Structure 1
């Protein structure tokens, strides 16, 4: 009896998340030096649960041996079209592919796709997928001069009009470089993920604020902003229009970022954004409770220094006063409290600030600056709570699940 075993590469399947579970992705590779990046790209897609199959042009095989992508995907690589009509099997009308991802895509391949020329396995897959309305995403990579050629620009715009998505490029050092694997994976997750927040605008505050003491020194806290960033990324995966206000940097082209340092700057930025319309405000930032009058010049060191602190108006209270119907989620962090006391304090904030949801956590041992956390979600409608332990990505996903339910219940 023959025993069938999974390819060792597939042992990593779903190790990072299940965001692409059940999805079949054809990774089409063309003759750019950036082809060397696709080994790890394939594995990142698999780590999120996808089944990945590779197809290569002849030019791509001059740069990257097909055996490398066999190893990376766990499947034989398609380097030519045979009697098995592989392009139809995966990208035909009843094809099993959920997405054709062309990465990297050269100027030559983009031009052929725009003209419907099928003289490589990759272009044959592309024509078939576009004709079958299977989603296609293209990741360009070439020299900047080639990317700037009017014909290349026209070809890209034409292909976009067909509903094909483009990721990148990243213009650096005179090269239109392939987008980072992180960006590619995020855009694939958005394409293939839940559309439950499509058309919704989410505004998120994140991280710590900093109150200036003088031009050099600040008062701040230990919040890292990791939860806020994960919330922004997860909302983007679910097709929301996302704005994040913070002192950090995500660098995702699809997420609007507003830099705000102090509590007053963050409050001003949030109220300004809310004026444009918003479905959900998630106040995940650890906003300063106190501020002070900053010195115009550096305070000389040496000796004792007394700082006169004054309270800061609560952002969530201002937002609720101006937007009584806005769905607002807040956070409550405590240290040295029992579970009962933590939940009692969180419920008090939930009620007094008229929030729709609050996330409570005891941060004495975990949460601040860590990659995981333990939180409790409370809403006014429930007498109990939802308890979650896990990575901040897992927590962000759970929070957005609950917020999506609250949005649906409002209809």
Structure 2
């Protein structure tokens, strides 16, 4: 009979969301903040992306969450005291096997000890070893706002930053410097451990639908959800890029800069102004309205048959290409009810006429608009074959970023 691997049942979820942290070992260091209750799900989110996760806890943390909970969450024994195994050296000595020490939540007390080299808890002993060995460390503060505002705490956090330690958050709500969301912590972890292919690059993304005011209440818009644009922004950030997204939604990830733009005109103006700051790539993923109108100053009364006069909107890509001829531009082409050959024909026409470096084409009558999945073709002028990417929009974002990384790498070599 084949032997069944000795694997904790909680690890059955490994890589169920992605393989972005595959092969990485993360030590989750938990201190005595009430936010420690969040670490069970945080550990599992890291595992769902392929990471091996181990936990180390201070005594104060064990008053809030039982070590058994983190044993369950990680599938590994929890370090609550340094033993003859010298666990801090095993993981973070010069030949240690861990890739990242993630201190989440980090109390003011622990931040102060890390900044002054005090190691009187298992967590601070791990921290002293990791910092001394030059291993990656990330700190996620969580405390009352008055504590966070203390000059010494601010100085300690700044000292950690000066050593190359990443500080994530906090979120200021209800008088508390709350721990960042698990989604943001995971994203920053991915960026730290995997953010290489687009490091040093600046990427501007337009996303979602635009809306033209009919009157102070009503708008003229379309069905685009912005899910693709959001996934593109997240994936570019994971890979190390400096990312700005222009849209009328809200992403809420601290490292990604967001610019609000509602109408097509506002989006075009925002993009042109932003591009003047110097970008490597513009990804025009927004479904920008083709028509605008003169909005009524007051609400149009219900009933009757009001007449609305539409006029064409400005073409963002045309203006961007004219103003910034050197920038790489990726466009999107959505069609309905046509066969693949006609889709390619129209996409190639747009690609040539607009001076695009790549275009993403699909037939939205087959799905994709407002859904979590899509089927698209990535079309470049220098290729005869056009690859079809089918699946979650996160998968499509990854494939597009692969293409962009290759494109920029080739350009850098030419320079």
For this structure pair, what is the TM-score category when the shorter chain's length is used for normalisation? over 0.9
Is 1:250 matched with 2:245?
Answer: no
- Residue deviations 1:39-97, cap 9 Å, x none? 00000000011000001111111111111000000001111111111100101111111
Match of 1:133 in 2: 134
1:110 deviates by 1.0
- Cα distance between partner residues in 2 of 1:397 and 1:155: 37
SS at match of 1:364: helix
- The match for 1:279 is 280
Size of the aligned set, in residue pairs, is 411
| Cα distance in structure 2, aligned partners of 1:324 and 1:62 | 60
Deviation of 1:195 after TM superposition, in Å, equals: 1.3
Looking at structure 1, the residues matched to 298 and 151 of structure 2 have their Cα atoms a distance apart, in angstroms, of 52
- SS of residue matched to 1:375: strand
Instruction: Please name the residue that 2:199 is paired with.
Output: 198
Distance between the aligned counterparts of 1:166 and 1:276, measured in 2? 26
Q: Is this contact kept in 1: 2:195–2:237, CA < 8 A? A: no
Per-residue deviation, 1:365:
3.1
d(CA) in 2 for partners of 1:323, 1:375? 27
Tell me if 1:265 matches 2:266: yes
CA distance in 2, matches of 1:183, 1:25: 16
Query: Unpaired segments of 5 or more residues in structure 1?
Result: none
- Does 1:293 find its partner at 2:288? no
Deviation, 1:245, is 0.5
Partner SS for 2:375 = strand
Instruction: Look up the SS of the partner of 1:80 in the other structure.
Output: coil
Q: How far does the alpha carbon of each residue in 1:105-148 deviate from its partner, in whole angstroms, 9 at most, with x for none?
A: 11111111111111111000000000011100011111111111
Partner of 1:124: 125
Match of 1:61 in 2: 62
Aligned 1:171-210 pairs, distance under 5 A? 171-210=172-211
- Secondary structure (helix, strand or coil) at the match of 1:361 reads strand
SS at match of 1:146: helix
Q: Deviations over 1:236-255 (max 9, x none)?
A: 11111111110001111111
Q: What's the CA shift for 1:291?
A: 1.0
State the shift of 1:284 in Å.
Answer: 0.1
Deviations 1:176-217 (A, max 9, x none): 111111111111111011312111110100000001111111
| Cα distance per residue 1:266-305 (max 9 Å; x no partner) | 0000000111111000000000111111112222221112
* Aligned ranges 1:4-403 → 2 under 5 Å: 4-403=5-404
Measure, in 2, the Cα distance between the counterparts of 1:263 and 1:216. Answer: 18
Runs of 4 or more consecutive aligned structure 1 residues displaced over 3 Å after TM superposition: 1-4
- Alpha-carbon spacing, 1:287–1:91, altered in 2? closer, same or farther (3 Å): same
What is the TM-score when the length of structure 1 is the normalising length? Answer: 0.98
Q: Structure 1 residues 3 and 335, CA, compared in 2 at 3 Å: closer, same or farther?
A: closer
- Classify the secondary structure of the residue corresponding to 2:366: coil
Q: Give, in angstroms, the shift of residue 311 of structure 1.
A: 1.2
Deviation at residue 313 of structure 1 after TM alignment: 2.1
Deviation at 1:364, TM superposition (A): 1.0
In the TM superposition, residue 5 of structure 1 has moved relative to its aligned partner by 2.3
Output one character per residue of 1:377-400: Cα deviation in whole Å (capped at 9) or x when no partner: 000100110110111111101001
Quick one: distance in 2 between partners of 1:171 and 1:194? 27
| Displacement of 1:4 | 3.8
How far the C-alpha of 1:3 sits from its partner, in A, is 5.1
Unpaired stretches in structure 2, ≥5 consecutive residues:
none
Q: TM-score, normalised by structure 2?
A: 0.97
- How far, CA to CA, are the matches of 2:28 and 2:387 in structure 1? 39
Structure 2 distance, partners of 1:184, 1:114, is 21
- Residues 215-245 of structure 1: per-residue CA shift (max 9 Å, x gap): 1111100000000011111111111111111
* TM-superposed deviation, 1:342: 1.1
